[in-house]
């Protein structure tokens, strides 16, 4: 699993790559950047295995997110900036600081 951040000098966004090596049929990225919509942000399956998606997110903000596999199980990104317990989820959310 990995997160890569590329700050764009000419724009007020950061290009963030989310990549996971989850062994499942499919993975979605859910978080406050897409109103926790479980179908809005699918990750693309890679030929080498795993899944990946790239998003442009606003600089200077903090985002909460998790991964969701097609079996309905949530899991976290171990390389997130930090974690925060969510009463709603009953588990920790990943934190991404830009």
What pTM was computed for the model? 0.92
What's the DSSP call for residue 72?
A: S
Q: Are 10 and 69 in contact (CB under 8 A)?
A: no
What's the DSSP call for residue 47?
A: T
Predicted confidence band at 22 (pLDDT cuts at 50, 70, 90)? confident
Helix, strand and coil in the chain, % to nearest 5: 5, 55, 45
Contacts of 31 (CB under 8 A, 6+ apart): 63, 64, 65, 66, 93, 94, 96
> Which domains does the chain carry?
2-97 (2.60.40.10)
Q: What's the average model confidence in pLDDT over 70-98?
A: 93
At residue 34, the pLDDT reads 97
Quickly tell me which residue has 């000419």 as its tokens. Answer: 10
């Amino acid at each position: 699993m990995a997160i890569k951040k590329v700050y764009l000098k000419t724009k007020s966004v950061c290009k963030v790559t989310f990549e996971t090596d989850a062994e499942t049929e499919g993975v979605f990225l859910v978080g406050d950047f897409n109103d926790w919509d479980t179908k809005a942000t699918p990750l693309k399956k890679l030929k080498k295995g795993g899944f990946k998606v790239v998003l442009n997110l606003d600089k200077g903000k903090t985002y909460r997110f998790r991964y969701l596999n097609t079996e309905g199980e949530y899991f976290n990104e171990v390389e997130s900036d930090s974690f925060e317990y969510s009463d709603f989820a009953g588990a920790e959310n990943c934190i991404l600081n830009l």
